[in-house]
Structure 1
């Protein structure tokens, strides 16, 4: 189920979310962010009522749950940077940020969680790192927007893994923590008032397109290693890159083409090694089962 949750989240972020936000062209990133938080809180409240989750003390409170404050701030920063990139026609910058993000995930997994990679996986990460280094060298500048996206989302993934709380409850807590800031802005700021019914409908739907992928991502984070989760994320930026090139007229620079090729080579290598490891594990498990003798 971890792989299904991860793919659902990344395909949503790569295809559904950028198209949705491009339809809100003319609305400021700050206004969209405020509406995302407000309508996400409403949407998840409805889900919790339908699923009959207990809202009062849904988990025994422990010190680590205070990390949800930090994860709420991390995801708010990530959302704002993403909205700025998409809204200003820089989908390829957003794509680059999410290409870099898995490398940060791998580093955090090794440094904080003590996760280890097999030799083939280390090679895959090395290829991806070379691709990012070449792309940065060819571009001749430090892409601050892309780096901000990568660092904020990697930190969010780490924090959610450390908190280890139910995916929906955790996201609901994060939205409630951000609501005291978002709600006044959505109600009072001139740039946050919808121009018409169509725009209001699109803003309302941000609750759905925001909440569901993040709930799926948090569920995947609890079931997969941080390294696997990070390298799977190449699905989303690849989709964003293709959208920017094929549908929104952005021109890929040579550095992005090199990066795209090397990243996908790393992804194929990592995925192949993971499949082989899973087959070996199943074979070893079958070999360790005691033989049953006939009567």
Structure 2
């Protein structure tokens, strides 16, 4: 199997696990979301730490948090991803899975906006139009339902801020996320202890819940490892397009499996979001192709300069 095909399969696998994870967390809907989050954090750390031990890279983990400034940045990233996980788990429990999917649909457009605010990136006309349509979609849903889609907004914003912080880190994805969940572990263990001391702990109460809570670690870690593997082998434009599989599967689970209502206001808002993402994707693909053409042209010029006889017109 070629690197490209294996990368695509890994990417599809990661997005499928993310997209269907709502089905898993629905099985834990009777457990308080903060307790589910605590176990997800702790068992994710255990799983990631075992991977680093197997790779002989455990020292990298402690090097990552050696500097107080680096540890503080990683902790802030950990807080953002922890908030994102909590919001998603809670959305499943309170029948807001559709709104959660909207949040992950909004995320690429929020990321574009954050690129302008924090990194001075410039938006093309199509990207400005896409962001405008996303804002219109949120406004339509707010007016139509009489309340802002707070779950979607908080999910997209927390993930967007997490992306901004991660862009400032030079750590690899596995080491970075392991450091994040490790720094969150004291909070997670405190939550677990309080649940146990009050006699309300789900872990150990029965075999089903105990196993499911432990599995939440690998379910969190596996797609990230697959995604990291894929991004090294697949073009960035392809990664961006395939990632929409995640919120699409979440949306389908919400409507078809969980039976959440999908009214006219939802239809209008999601229609605007899908249009915005289509426009954004086309703009991204064009930009990606242009960048590759420029890179190829620059490479060709460099080759000619280094070897002026390489054009075939000169005799050897």
TM bin, normalised by shorter chain, reads 0.7 to 0.9
210, 213, 217: which one pairs with 1:200?
210
The answer to whether structure 1 residue 54 and structure 2 residue 58 are counterparts is: yes
1:212 partnered with 2:230: no
Deviation at 1:194, TM superposition (A): 3.9
Which residue does 1:246 correspond to in 2? 256
- Residue 277 of structure 1 deviates from its aligned partner by 2.8
Equivalent residue, structure 2, for 1:156: 162
1:44 is the counterpart of 2:55: no
Over 3 Å counting, the alpha-carbon distance change for 1:126 and 1:13 in structure 2 is same
Structure 1 residue 197: deviation in Å?
1.6
The 5-angstrom pairing of residues 252-263 of structure 1 reads: 252-263=262-273
- Pairwise CA RMSD of aligned residues? 3.2
- Structure 2: state its 5+ residue gaps: 305-309
Q: Out of 73, 78, 91, which is 1:85 matched to?
A: 91
Matched, 1:128 2:137: no
Deviating more after overlay: 210-219 vs 92-101: 210-219
Larger Rg: 2
Q: State which drifts further: 231-240 or 34-43.
A: 231-240
Q: CA deviation at 1:100?
A: 3.4
269 and 8 in structure 1: CA distance in 2 versus 1, 3 angstrom threshold: farther
With normalisation by structure 2, the TM-score equals: 0.80
**Cα distance 1:71–1:221, how it changes in 2: closer, same or farther (>3 A)?**
farther
Q: Which stretch of the first structure deviates more once superposed, 240-249 or 119-128?
A: 119-128
- More displaced stretch, 285-294 vs 181-190: 285-294
Range with bigger deviation, 171-180 or 113-122: 113-122
Query: How far off is 1:219 after superposition?
Result: 8.3
C-alpha contact 1:75 1:156 (8 A) present in aligned 2? yes
The equivalent position to 1:13 in structure 2, one of 15, 18, 23, is 18
Distance 1:227 1:280 in 2: 12
What runs of 5+ residues in structure 1 fail to find an aligned partner? none
Deviation at 1:147, TM superposition (A): 2.4
The Cα shift of 1:101 comes to 3.2
Range with greater deviation from structure 2 (208-217 or 255-264): 208-217
2:80 equivalent in structure 1: 74
Contact 1:38-1:182 at 8 Å conserved across structures: yes
- TM-score, normalised relative to structure 1: 0.85
- Deviation, 1:39, is 0.5
User: In the comparison of the two structures, how many residue pairs are matched?
Assistant: 292
Instruction: State yes or no: 1:293 paired with 2:311.
Output: yes
Q: What is the alpha-carbon distance in structure 1 between the residues aligned to residue 59 and residue 271 of structure 2?
A: 46
Cα separation, partners in 2 of 1:222 and 1:135, compared to 1, 3 Å: farther
* In structure 2, distance between residues paired with 1:293 and 1:23: 65
Q: Is structure 2 residue 122 aligned with structure 1 residue 119?
A: no
- Post-superposition offset of 1:48: 0.5
In 1, the alpha carbon distance for the partners of 2:120 and 2:229 equals 21
Deviation at 1:9, TM superposition (A): 4.6
**Pair 139,9 (structure 1): closer, same or farther in 2 beyond 3 Å:** farther
